[in-house]
C-alpha cells in the first residue's frame, strides 16, 4: 500500500510547493532530535523528512498523485510485476545510468532549495579557576538566522517561486553529442535555476531570496567543571541556518585555558612549587598553602626535608570530566618543596654556620678544579706543587 505523504506533512493534496515547504519547516523544528529527544519524535522526524523529499520532487510527486509510491520497489505506480528491469525503474533508468539521462525518464530531477546549515566554532578564554569550577558565560555570536520576513522561503510575502521555463522544472538541461556509439544525450544542471527547477521571480527584500540573514545575538553557554584547553562544548541547533531556511547546524565553543601564576595542570592533577628556607627545612615547620579553590591547607614540613621532596594532597586537584559530561572524582595536588639556600650571609651568620659545621664534624674541603673526567686540571697540579 502506498504511503500517504500528504497526510504525513498535514497538507491537502492540492497544496502548493510553498505550502508543502512551510509545513515541513514547522514540523522539522518541532521534531528535530536536538529539540525533541523522544524516540517517537525521532521516527516522525524521519518520516516527515522523507515525505518532504518526495513531494518536493516533481517526478516523485507525480507518482504519488497517480496512486503509487516512488520509494516502493523502484518507484513505479504499479510495482515491479514481470518487468525484468523493475529494480531499475525501467529501461530508461538504465540508459540514464550509462549515458547520463538518455532515457525517457529524464535525469536526477531538481535538487531541494532547503539545505542543512553549517556548524560554527567560537573560542572562549577561561581561567584555571573557571575550568575547575565550571561557569555560565554569555557569548555573542554572529551567524546566519532564519529570515523572519519570508520565513525562509526566499520569496516576497504573497508570492511563490515559479517553474523554470528553461528546464521545465526538471532542474537540468540535456544536450546531444556525437560519439563512436552514435548520439549520446547528457544532462547538466540548469544554468538559469541552478538545478532547483524553480525560479524566485519576486525575491524577499530582506534576504534577497536566500531565506536567511546575518544577525548578532547573545546566548548563554554552560561550561562544565573539569574542562581543559582545547575541549569543545556543543550547543545543538545554535549554528548557521541552512539556505532556504534549512535546519541549523551546531555551535561549538572551544576552551582556551589561560596559564596560572602558581599552579600548572597535568590532566586533573595540579602541581605547584613551595619555597622553604634552608633553616626551616632542617628544623621542620608548618606552612599555610592556599589551594586553587581559595581554601587554606596546612603543609607540614618535616625536619631534615631535602630539596625536591614532593607532598601530595589527595583529591585537591581538578574534577575528572568524563566523555558523557559527568564528573567522576578529582585529581590530586602535587606540592614540590624547593629548599632555598641563602645567597648572601653576614659575618655573624657565617660564623654560626661554621660553628654548626664544627659541631657536626663536617670538613670544609679545599676547592678543586677538574677537567670534566674527575682528574685535577693543569692549574690545580701547579698549585699543589707550589705547596710542597
The answer to whether 55 touches 66, Cβ cutoff 8 Å, is: no
Mean pLDDT, rounded, for 39-45: 79
Average pLDDT, the chain: 81
- Predicted local confidence at residue 93, as pLDDT: 41
Look at 24-38, 64-78, 302-316, 322-336 and tell me which has the smallest mean pLDDT. 64-78
269 and 244 in one domain? no
- Predicted local confidence at residue 239, as pLDDT: 93
Mean pLDDT, rounded, for 337-350: 90
Query: Which residue ranges are tagged as binding site?
Result: 147, 150, 164, 167, 190, 193, 204, 207
The answer to whether 343 touches 318, Cβ cutoff 8 Å, is: no
Q: How far apart are CA 242 and CA 201, in angstroms?
A: 21
Mean pLDDT, rounded, for 95-122: 66
| Choice between 39 and 346, residue whose per-residue pLDDT is larger | 346
Domain that includes residue 66, residue range: 5-89
Query: Which residue ranges are tagged as binding site for Zn(2+)?
Result: 147, 150, 164, 167, 190, 193, 204, 207
> SS3 of 109, please?
coil
320 and 355 in one domain? no
The answer to whether 143 touches 211, Cβ cutoff 8 Å, is: no
- Predicted local confidence at residue 337, as pLDDT: 94
307 and 201 in one domain? no
Q: Which residues share a beta bridge with 257? A: 126
pTM of the model: 0.60
- pLDDT over 60 (residue 105): no
Comparing CA positions, the residue from 254, 224, 264, 268 lying closest to residue 130 is: 224
Digit-coded pLDDT (tens) for 180-215: 666 677 788 898 998 999 999 999 999 999 999 999
292 and 230 in one domain? no
Digit-coded pLDDT (tens) for 142-190: 999 999 999 899 999 888 899 999 888 888 888 777 766 666 777 888 9
Q: How far apart are CA 61 and CA 68, in angstroms?
A: 9
* Structural domains of the chain, count: 4
| Choice between 288 and 63, residue whose per-residue pLDDT is larger | 288
CATH number where 126 lies: 2.10.230.10
DSSP states of 5-71? HHHHHT--TT--HHHHHHHHHHHHHHH-TTT---HHHHHHHHHHHHHHHHHTSHHHHHHHHTT--TT
The answer to whether 78 touches 89, Cβ cutoff 8 Å, is: no
- pLDDT over 60 (residue 338): yes
- Predicted local confidence at residue 98, as pLDDT: 43
Residue 234: inside a domain, yes or no?
Answer: yes
| Residue after which a domain boundary falls, among 211, 226, 257 | 257
Digit-coded pLDDT (tens) for 128-142: 999 999 999 999 999
Digit-coded pLDDT (tens) for 365-384: 665 555 555 555 544 443 44
Amino acid at each position: 500500500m502506498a504511503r500517504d505523504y500528504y497526510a504525513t506533512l498535514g497538507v491537502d493534496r492540492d497544496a502548493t510547493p510553498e505550502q508543502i515547504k512551510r509545513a515541513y519547516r514547522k514540523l522539522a523544528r518541532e521534531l528535530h532530535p536536538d529539540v525533541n529527544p523522544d524516540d517517537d519524535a525521532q521516527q516522525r522526524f524521519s518520516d516527515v523528512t522523507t515525505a518532504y523529499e518526495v513531494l518536493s520532487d516533481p517526478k516523485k510527486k507525480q507518482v504519488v498523485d497517480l496512486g503509487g509510491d516512488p520509494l516502493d520497489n523502484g518507484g513505479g505506480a504499479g510495482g515491479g510485476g514481470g518487468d525484468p528491469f523493475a529494480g531499475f525503474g525501467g529501461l530508461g533508468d538504465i540508459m540514464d545510468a550509462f549515458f547520463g539521462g538518455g532515457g525517457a525518464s529524464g535525469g536526477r530531477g531538481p535538487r531541494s532549495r532547503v539545505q542543512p546549515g553549517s556548524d560554527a566554532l567560537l573560542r572562549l578564554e577561561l581561567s584555571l579557576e573557571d575550568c575547575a569550577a565550571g561557569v555560565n558565560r554569555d557569548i555573542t555570536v554572529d551567524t546566519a538566522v532564519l529570515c523572519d520576513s519570508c520565513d525562509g522561503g526566499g520569496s516576497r510575502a504573497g508570492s511563490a517561486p515559479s517553474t523554470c521555463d528553461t528546464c521545465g522544472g526538471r532542474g537540468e538541461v540535456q544536450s546531444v553529442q556525437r560519439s563512436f556509439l552514435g548520439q549520446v544525450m547528457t544532462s547538466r544542471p540548469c544554468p538559469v535555476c541552478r538545478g532547483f527547477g524553480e525560479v524566485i521571480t519576486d525575491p524577499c527584500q530582506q534576504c534577497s531570496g536566500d531565506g536567511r540573514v546575518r544577525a548578532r545575538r547573545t546566548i548563554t553557554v554552560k561550561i562544565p567543571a573539569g574542562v581543559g584547553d582545547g575541549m569543545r562544548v556543543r550547543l545543538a541547533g545554535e549554528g548557521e541556518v541552512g539556505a532556504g531556511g534549512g535546519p541549523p547546524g551546531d555551535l561549538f565553543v572551544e576552551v582556551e585555558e589561560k596559564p596560572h601564576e602558581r599552579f600548572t595542570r597535568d590532566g586533573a592533577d595540579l602541581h605547584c612549587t613551595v619555597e622553604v628556607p634552608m633553616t626551616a627545612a632542617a628544623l621542620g615547620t608548618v606552612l599555610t598553602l592556599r589551594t586553587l579553590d581559595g581554601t587554606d591547607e596546612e603543609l607540614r614540613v618535616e625536619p631534615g626535608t631535602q630539596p625536591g621532596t614532593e607532598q601530595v594532597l589527595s583529591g585537591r586537584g581538578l574534577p575528572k570530566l568524563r566523555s558523557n559530561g559527568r564528573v567522576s572524582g578529582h585529581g590530586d595536588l602535587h606540592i614540590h618543596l624547593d629548599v632555598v639556600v641563602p645567597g648572601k650571609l653576614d659575618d655573624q651568620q657565617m660564623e654560626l654556620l661554621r660553628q654548626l659545621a664544627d659541631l657536626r664534624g663536617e670538613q670544609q674541603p679545599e676547592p678543586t678544579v677538574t677537567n670534566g673526567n674527575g682528574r685535577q686540571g693543569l692549574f690545580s697540579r701547579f698549585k699543589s706543587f707550589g705547596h710542597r
